[in-house]
Structure 1
């Protein structure tokens, strides 16, 4: 079942194509992320969904009805701004009630809805405070409450956690997931933070230069990237160019490396190997020199220079390692943990 359907949406600004034939479907109750670097088109799509932009071509439907035919103030879609945009002179409860009052709802219903949503976000005791008396995380919750109190069919969030420090951001990621499940509203979040997208979303659309490169749940997206851009943008990766052979993957000047070849024998391709899938071994297809080790308590990160490769190989291992900078190590990985990306997708 589909709640929101975006079909062939294109948006240009002069010579710049912000969105290029974008198509995607979002299910009811889904937490969907639009992920990509700055300027990739994700915010333009969000503004089209919110009614602030018009596409040059394509359509958008919500529950089968033309969403683009509605003015922004009548749309069953709410947008939570990156800046939160709280009114500094109003209390928390008046900030939350503002949109309902503008719609002319009866005061008893407004009070009931505001009380309910304050309990949901855990700020019942802060109803009479003003925004400057709240922490960053609390202000974020008030902005979210103001959006969900109107009970929209779809809630759009533009970089909702970017203004928070790392610890508060991690807490609010859990809070957003809890609230989304509790209120049952479909969420679409725009972010350039891959960890944020992976931790929040049921599915992620990765944008690049106005196009969608891949749509998948977080685990398949991470473990099986389908293009060079996704393999490079989502998480750390070792990317090697070479040729697919029946026995493995051949890298010029290095040799034959283990992978599941499947199809495309004889063709150019990209081999992507996550650092955590590479291990130090007595025997392995790659031999190199450790040039750097970083210890992060529960894990260590190594950079290994391998003759014939243009960049050091990144390795992530559990705990501390006995290897030292300058030592020679051999590297290996399970063939099924190396992902082959055909040349046409790797371009």
Structure 2
């Protein structure tokens, strides 16, 4: 009689090895780097049993024999059978020697300036190509965004996740949410479901590429610590980009509009049109301010402030006033 043993059970973050001689299981854990590479496999009983470094495009190298497990670069399985040496990226096979996928990107029309066979837009140090069908920002930014979502939605933030293509999704329940939370989520859902991709990046600066292949440098300080660049307002761009400085100043100066701002003609008798005010702010509320620019692009920009203030109420911050670039007379977003 032939006896077949289940030798390995895969679980989140590692796997369980089965030893038929002892009839016991051994937990083995992946230790990953910031882009999801499995760098170390740590056994609960034997210590480090596999270690790997990687060249940028995924070829592993190590002084320790790597015969324990084939889930390596970006957490994907390296198929070595019959000398194939390709990574199974879910929807496409990837050849780390050629640095190319073996088939075209099914979403290549979203990225006309990219080779449809390229991996991570030819920049694996910055991007991750999760399932071979889209480009997503590296996982280092997800922690910051998750923290912001948690601050606004509390326990409901567990409903947020990232799709196989690295896109933010929400599949949780809204039952019990406050009115402000539901309204904020409705706006966020609009952005998540748009055909135009919105990239959220954290840092003082960021580089994006236009349709002609030119590099554009974004500076968060131009918007007081955060900027939103919209494809609808820039004919050379195909995607939106939100850049947020994680060390944004906690105090900001705005020039709030007064009732006189809306009165014509502009004469001294009407009184001052602007009043200088100082507001408290942080990464969490400013993130949604920039998302508001995506939601209300081409519309009166007082809507951005209304959306922003719902988040500020949730965070127990004082409302932000309408200002010179965010009022009902302005329809083109300015940061």
Q: Normalised by the size of structure 1, how large is the TM-score?
A: 0.25
> As a proportion of its length, which structure holds more helix?
1
> As a proportion of its length, which structure holds more strand?
1
- Relative contact order (C-alpha < 8 Å, sep 6+): which is higher? 1
